[in-house]
A and B are shown apart, each in its own frame.
Chain A
Amino acid sequence: MKKKQTKSRKNNTLPLLFSIIIVFCMLATIVFTVARKISTEMSASAIQNLSESLDLMKGTIEAILSKEAEFQKLIAQELVMLENPEDFIQSYDRNSTMVRLTLILSGETEGVSNTGEVLSEEELDFSSGKTVDGLPISQSYMNYMGTWAYSMKCPVIKDNQELGTLYVEYIYDTFEESLPKGFYNGRAMFYIMDAKSERLVLKPKGMGERSAGHLNLKDFYRANDIWEQDLRIEVFECVKNGTNFLFYHDIRGKNSLNYMWSLNQGSLYMIGYVPIEAIQQEGRAVNQNILIVVVVMLTAFFLCCMLYYFNQRQQNKIRREREKEREIHNHQLAEALQAAQIASNSKTTFLSNMSHDIRTPMNAVLGFTTLLAKDADNAEKVREYTKKITASGQHLLSLINDILDVSKIESGKVVLTIEEFTLNDLVSSVDAIIRPMANAREQKFHVEVTGIQHEYLLGDETRINQILINLLSNAVKYTPEGGNIWFRIIGLKQRSSQYEHIRIEVEDDGYGMTPEYLKTIFDAFTRAENSTTNKVQGTGLGMAITKNIVELMGGTIDVSSEVNHGSIFKVELEFRIPEGRSIKKFWQERGISQILAVDGVKESCKNIQILLKETGVQADMASCFEEAMRLIKDHNDEKYQMILLDWDMMDMDGIQNIKKIRETLPNSVPIILLSVHGSEGLEEVLKLENTGILTKPFFVSACTEKLLEMQAKSEGEHISEDNTEENLEGLHFLAAEDNMINAEILKEILSMEGADCEVVENGQLAVERFISATEDEFDAILMDVQMPVMNGYEATRAIRALDRKDAEEIPIIAMTANAFAEDQKAALDAGMNVHLPKPIDVELLKKVIRECVQERNKK
């Protein structure tokens, strides 16, 4: 799937990339075509431009030559008129144009110049045959002034008779005046070349590189790196024919237009070069502008592509995230489906188990009921049968409770009831339940509390109890007889000063669990199944309930186990520490600020110290009796206001030792012994003055209670459990119950206890009956909750709302199949005194009624 998507993405990217490349190529082609077109046009324009300039200069130079020739002819005509032309010549001052005039008379080979020199006809070379306006022009030569010159000869004819020839010498320097200053802004190279000798006869000032002083055409070629033979031949041919020639050639790294421009029918040539950039100054700017436009456009295009790319990337990312999310959803759905299937399977298995588990005790109930009917006359058998029926019924009840709990948790209806509790109560109640179970299986139950700083905490004690009972009862169940069970409460490092961080460990050395089972231990409707544990009865919901409650409390639960070696469950929870509680006062009032704790186990001593820290009481430690005695005596028996003594540490002489202490200390100093359950010899101890016993582990609250108890005892207050009033003899109850069977049972039970009960069918009737009753006619009302016409809550509220004295006081006891904590809370909120879940535990009912009645009587 992923590969397919990647491939699809690649398939999307490639056309995009291809499109971009195509666009770039098109753009490049357009730019190239435009640039080439411009270049071609500019080249043509440059050639035209240069040609026109050269033509202009050619025209100028040829005009000069023409004028010179014309003037020379005029002088020749003038000479004809003169009697002595030679004198005229010699008297003629040289000027900037005609630097030398010579007349060689016919028949002579030499003539005297105006400069005084003698000129011979042989000195001048007219062999080229070139003329200017019909006057032969000589080859260029270096004249007497040290500059390049040429001469023209003009016949002096009078009456068709040639008198002689007038030679006039001109210098090329005169051309300079008529040529533009700085050809192409001084960047063009310009020479005038004598075509025959190929000598460069004039380089006008300001033209071309001034450091270049070329000698002749060959030198020009060499200096400018023009070596192409075919080119040279072509140039040679042009010069020979007197035609123009223009060619491109790089001169000193610059593309240049080189020219050979014929003057005066090819007797002279203008040669040189012009860098293209000098001709196309505007061309360069155009090119630069085109380049700028192209760069800007490309940049804009690139930026657009980039934005498009980022946009696409973002879209892809979002798409991927969505796909990922969808995948996760699918995965979750698949998991959910799987879980549902597993749950369904589990529930099927569960139902099958339940069917078995329910049928088994039900079978017992029905079977024994049959036997009961048969052996009704045999009282002993009847008692035995009823005992077994009761046991089966209780088992059925626990099964139903668990099932209901799970369904409640799963439907999210569980609400924690946060109240203050003490770890002491928690441990005591758990101990009270588990220890008998463990003892019944001859297991050793160890309770250890370490590192706890605060024992008064805020939490849902009932649910914590539930967790502990679940874990510990499992430990008892899955540990063979004679095994060990450890229950540890360990104080961990506080994450916040407002919370006590606790780890609860439940460890056993029982059957243990397989790794496969460990994976599903916290799933509902699973149960360890093997030949050993099959004997164990249970719903398999306990651990699921436990885990859910732990998580509801924001804690964690872990388990590790090894088959045949045992298991350990670790629950970590944080409980808020109640504010404003000061337990220092109790101790201060009793003047207890310093005690001595005697315990052989160092860890225990430390725990006592930590726990006492909150009370402000200092505890000295002694690890043995002898040390304790020494400490007591060292401080003249006055230092310690209380002695805590580990009973289990002492041997057979325990009682003697206590007596020794008592002899040393005054009777006002309480001695409290710490012992484990079932310690022997304690009966003797209780006879001693101001001495009490505390069950381990040590808790401050327990110690406080014990001190109070001892104080009361010493003050002679009689505290005894009133066992005489246990039965309900003579009491009169009003019961609201719509189920006639239940009503019958209730009635029978109460009558068995000597109480009388009047049953009504719904709440409305109950209210009415109560109204009609005389004051204190009923000792208590037993109220079902779910009833037709008016339910138990409404009825209770109605009764409580009645304007009569006993309406407020009469105990109303809820007796309902709604057995959840919420139901309990609802009952109390409605004004009921106690909530008793069905089925009715007779003993519990008796106890509750008695308490309520006693309470009312007290009032």
Chain B
Amino acid sequence: MRNRVTSIKKLAVVSLIVITLFMITACGAEDGISKNLLTSKEDNRKVVNMFSPMEKTQPDVENVARSASDKTVIMAEEKLNVKVEYITYTAEDYEEKTYDQIALDRARNNMDDIYLLNPDIIQTLGEEGKLMDLSGLDCAKNLRDVIKTANTVNGKLVAIPQEVVAYGLFINKDIFDKCNLELPETPEDFLECCKVLKENGYETPIGANRWWLETFVLAQAYADMYNGGDTEAEIEALNSGERKYSDYMRPGFEFLKELIDQGYIDAKTAYTYEAIDGEGPDFMAQKTPMVMAYWGAANTDTAYGATDFELQVIGFPTERGQMPVLPMTGFAIGAEAEHAEDAIRALDVMLSDEALQVYTETNKVISPSKNVEVDCVPALKPLNDRIKENTYVLATNASMKVEQWGNTCLIVRKLLNGATVDQCMEEFDKLQEESLSK
């Protein structure tokens, strides 16, 4: 005991000495060598401007999808010593210009270096020659064929995605179970489900926005062509005018019309709703049992990643069963980009297998690289199973002369706005004629 006390006392004295020395040392001034007081270094990093959509940030919520993309950007920045500046645009309401329109304007006016574009814009800009051919990038060698096919315009690979975006039907499984409903396989099943749900007090069983209803139509339209038909021959027939797009589209539009007529979709609100922002809150609040959305929404807390109910994502019900719809968004570089060289290098890193591995693992999506594969979240399993079986519909195909994704979206909006199915089909015929006349 006495020894311990002595030790503590010794320690205390030593500590006091150390403190005193520390204080005395701290009083000493440091002699500077240089008289120049400026020490800050200039940031000599090269800048690459990237135009991409930005989901609305929410306080204290991490956007996983965004984070995944950011990780690849940071990877490129670190590897190449460049700085990628984000430029974004979001329409305040449906009356304002859309992201796609702005992307189109910016690319045409050569405002940025890298663009994240939707399929219709890729096709438009690709045809206008405003996008650079990316087939020479190292990362392009690893791409799956379906990706190359979907993003090749006039023989140029004009865009490369970071993920294979798959659209599906997001279902509140708890509500379905409560109403004793099986997951729908066919349009008939789906109608029955909607009927039962409506009877159970769900006023609008399907939540929809002005952007993604075309997935419904496209699934009905091309389920046979991509799964069982002679795809190339049929596309050739469409491109030559032997067959009509309207013939393919009609069943989908009629089905959609029926859903609207039956009150399963509220056309009025859908026409004005932005993606997720509009229909999302009701789905999360379990007022709406079903919505349409893309794969990543199931992983993202800002979308449908953190539901209070069991979520199941299935393909759209068609005569060929549940059908995922795959549009191809992708990164493109302006043909006359100001920082073209740095943009190419940056994109090559962002789309490399290493970056895609990080992206895919973070976002739990299907990678465009044949070398990267990760498990998906349980909710996406039904959708993923179908894709693995090679059962899906391409929502965009650059080999089709009539752009599908954007045009179908616009025509669906017309249907929402009160046009008849026939009027919508006329629009398709008109587009086909225009394409044939080029």
> A: which residues have CB within 8 A of B?
142-147, 181-182, 199, 205-206, 210-216, 219, 222-225, 252, 296, 299-300, 303-304, 306-307, 310, 313
Contact = CB atoms under 8 A, between A and B. Distances in A.
Contacts of A181: 43
Interface string B103-137: 11111110100000000000000000000000000
Most buried by A among B12, B83, B97: B12
5 contacts: A210-B85, A213-B57, A223-B58, A306-B8, A307-B9
A215 B43 contact: no
Given A182-B43, A199-B92, A306-B12, 15 more contacts: A143-B105, A145-B111, A146-B97, A146-B103, A146-B104, A146-B106, A146-B107, A206-B85, A210-B85, A212-B54, A223-B58, A225-B59, A304-B16, A306-B8, A307-B9
A252 B102 contact: no
Contacts of B54: 211-213
A147 B107 CA distance: 11
Contact of B12 (A182, A212, A307): A307
B353 to A, nearest CB: 24
A223 B104 contact: no
B5 interface: yes
Contacts of B107: 146
B47 interface: yes
Contacts of A215: 56, 90, 92
Interface of B: 5, 8-9, 12-13, 15-16, 19, 22-23, 43, 47, 49, 54, 56-60, 63, 66, 70, 83, 85-90, 92, 96-97, 101-109, 111
A224 B16 contact: no
A299 B15 CA distance: 9
Chain A binding surface, main DSSP class: loop
Contacts, number: 95
A299 B70 contact: no
A715 B57 CA distance: 136
B111 A211 contact: no
B85 A147 contact: no
Contact of A211 (B5, B12, B86, B89): B86
A146 B13 contact: no
Contact of B97 (A142, A306, A310): A142
Contact of A142 (B12, B47, B83, B96): B96
B58, B70, B92 — most chain A CB neighbours (10 Å):
B92
Given A213-B86, A213-B90, A310-B5, A145 B58 contact: no
Contact of A146 (B8, B16, B105): B105
B86 to A, nearest CB: 5
A635 to B, nearest CB: 71
Contact of A252 (B43, B59, B66, B104): B59
B16 A213 contact: no
A211 B57 contact: yes
Nearest to A209: B57
B8 A205 contact: no
A147 B103 CA distance: 10
A215 B63 CA distance: 17
A213 B90 CA distance: 8
A396 B202 CA distance: 133
Given A206-B85, A303-B15, A304-B16, A211 B63 contact: yes
Contacts of B89: 142, 146, 213
A146 B47 CA distance: 20
Contacts of A222: 56, 58-59
Contacts of A146: 89, 97, 101-109, 111
A396 B415 CA distance: 151
A147 B106 contact: yes
A211 B43 contact: no
Nearest to B59: A225
Nearest to A253: B60
Q: Which of A206, A210, A216 has the most CB of B within 10 A?
A: A210
Which has the most chain B C-beta neighbours within 10 Å: A147, A181, A212?
A147
Most buried by B among A146, A199, A214, A300: A146
Contacts of A144: 105, 109
Contact of B13 (A142, A147, A307): A307
A111 to B, nearest CB: 21
Nearest to B22: A296
Contacts of B96: 142
Nearest to A251: B59
A65 to B, nearest CB: 22
A147 B58 contact: no
Given A144-B105, A213-B54, A310-B9, A223 B111 contact: no
Nearest to B63: A211
Nearest to A115: B109
A669 to B, nearest CB: 73
B76 to A, nearest CB: 14
Contacts of B15: 299, 303
A211 B66 contact: yes
B90 to A, nearest CB: 5
Contacts of A225: 59-60
A223 B105 contact: no
Contacts of B63: 211
- Which 6 residue pairs across A and B have the least CB separation, nearest first? A213-B54, A146-B105, A146-B106, A213-B88, A145-B109, A225-B59
A291 to B, nearest CB: 14
Nearest to A300: B19
A182 B13 CA distance: 50
A698 to B, nearest CB: 58
A300 B17 CA distance: 9
A412 to B, nearest CB: 38
Nearest to A314: B5
A215 B8 CA distance: 63
Nearest to A289: B26
A205 B111 CA distance: 14
Contacts of A210: 85-86
Contact of A310 (B8, B22, B47, B86): B8
Contacts of A147: 105-106, 111
B414 to A, nearest CB: 24
Contacts of A211: 54, 57, 63, 66, 70, 86
Contacts of A182: 43
Nearest to B49: A205
A142 B95 CA distance: 12
A143 B88 CA distance: 15
Contact of A223 (B57, B66, B101): B57
A296 B21 CA distance: 12
B72 to A, nearest CB: 13
A213 B55 CA distance: 8
A303 B14 CA distance: 10
B16 A205 contact: no
A199 B96 CA distance: 12
Contacts of A224: 59
A681 to B, nearest CB: 76
Nearest to A227: B59
